[in-house]
Amino acid sequence: MLNKENSRVIAHKAICLVALEKQALSDALFPAESTESPFAKSLVYGSIRFYHHLNDIITPRIKRPLEKKNLDIHSLLVLGAYQLLYTDISSHAAINETVEVAEKIGKTWAKGFVNAILRGIDRDKDPILKIAHHSHPSWLVKKIKKDYPLNYQEIFYENNKKAPMSIRVHPSVDINTFQEKLNTQNIFSEKSNIAPQALILDDAVKVSSLPDFEKGSCYIQDVSAQLAALLVSPKKGELILDACCAPGGKTTHIAELCPDANIVALDNDETRLLRVKENINRLKTKNIQIVVGDATSQDWWDQKLFDKILIDAPCTGTGVIRRHPDIKLLRKPKDVSQITKIQALILDNLWHLLKPGGDLIYATCSILPDENERQIISFLERFKDATNEEISLSWGNGSIGKQQLPKKIYDGFYYAKLTKKL
């Protein structure tokens, strides 16, 4: 069992990897089901979530800039400041235990420096917390304010909250019975009026706590993401493409809804496709063919037109920042234009693989109009055989597709439904 001292060392290492080495705060870096304590994980996610606020507090207090080799001390200050400002950990414990991390990482010289900075922050805690801070990078603040002048405050607020844990119950499992089983384990949840297989948990739990998880009873998936398969609406005998499919959440959902459909799961990342295979095996899905290939080319295609295509497009991930706070540190302004170009290439390429009369569902976990509504408007201008179909869901807003902003039980997602004229 890890103690809290060791947890802070682990947390500091993870913060350094994200902030200094620009590694993603993914399961590979910080596994969800690892021996690391929940305390360590909470420190990492919290420090990264509020990194920009904490950085703006810390930086003016450092009189002489730290050398490059000592930037890990800046990350240590972030860890300490997070505990002081955003947790109920006592100031004494937060400061002293964080100072001790300096010694554990071989930076004994920094103990006094870290102590002085953190004590200064602690003294100024009340006035610091009275000043509102979005805790987003300045370029993203500017962009979101421009795109959402009426509700940008709500977006920043929701992005800085923890996302709820939501599950998709397998159609073969009665959702009411499953919910009752959860209740007996003191795992409480609510149903969704949008996604019929969804349960939103009051509190996050380890997947091992979920009844029959290893036997395929359920899948961890946000409510917004569960709408993709519903919009595809698979039918018996249809040939359906799920492009950019990894890790397979939407793919397996389509397969669950219609075991008699034929699904091609396409992705260009063989490593990520291993996750798809794992999910297929756990959920015991039989009607999915995995294909390694690039959605911007047709090298992998066997010349059979698809009845339906789902494009789970690569995007900035700005709709799931609350789940992946490292997006704030890893994304750059240039990424938006680069990603939109790739999205357009995928759309243009895969449209030719769709049967006349067939449907293409375009999905992103982004809130940026450049990647969403504007992308689809541009596509409709290029392809006159495409028509925009209204999405009749009490979810999201928009006439060209539907945009949901991050809010309570929903991640920020965009969907558009396009039909190919006969």
**Catalytic positions, written as ranges:** 365
Rounded Cα–Cα distance for residues 200 and 189 (Å): 5
Q: Helix, strand, or coil here: 344?
A: helix
Give helix 71-86 / helix 91-104 axis angle, nearest 10°.
160
For residue 380, the tally of other CB atoms under 10 A from its CB is 15
Question: How many residues does the structure list for the chain?
Answer: 422
Q: Are 259 and 286 in contact (CB under 8 A)?
A: yes
Q: Which of 59, 112, 115, 57 is nearest to 85 (CA)?
A: 57
Whole-number Cα distances in Å, 349 to 155, 162, 234, 378: 33, 37, 22, 15
Q: Measured between alpha carbons, how far is 386 from 27 in angstroms, rounded to an integer? A: 39
Query: What does 285-333 look like in DSSP terms, one character per residue?
Result: --SEEEEE--TT--TT--SPPEEEEEEE-----TTSTTT-TTHHHH--H
Three-state DSSP class for residue 172: coil
Q: Are the beta carbons of 85 and 54 closer than 8 angstroms?
A: yes
**Residues 6+ away with beta carbon under 8 Å from 94:** 80, 83, 84, 87, 118
CB atoms closer than 10 angstroms to residue 110: 21
- Give the 3-state secondary structure of 348-382: HHHHCCEEEEEEEEEEECCCCHHHCHHHHHHHHHH
Compute, in degrees rounded to 10, the torsion defined by CA atoms 196, 202, 207, 209. Answer: -110
Q: Give the whole-angstrom CA distance, residue 343 versus residue 323.
A: 23
Could you give the CA distance from residue 195 to residue 284 in angstroms, rounded to a whole number? 22
- Could you tell me if 388 and 396 are in contact, meaning their C-beta atoms sit under 8 angstroms apart? no
The amino acid at 234:
P
CB 43 within 8 A of CB 11: yes
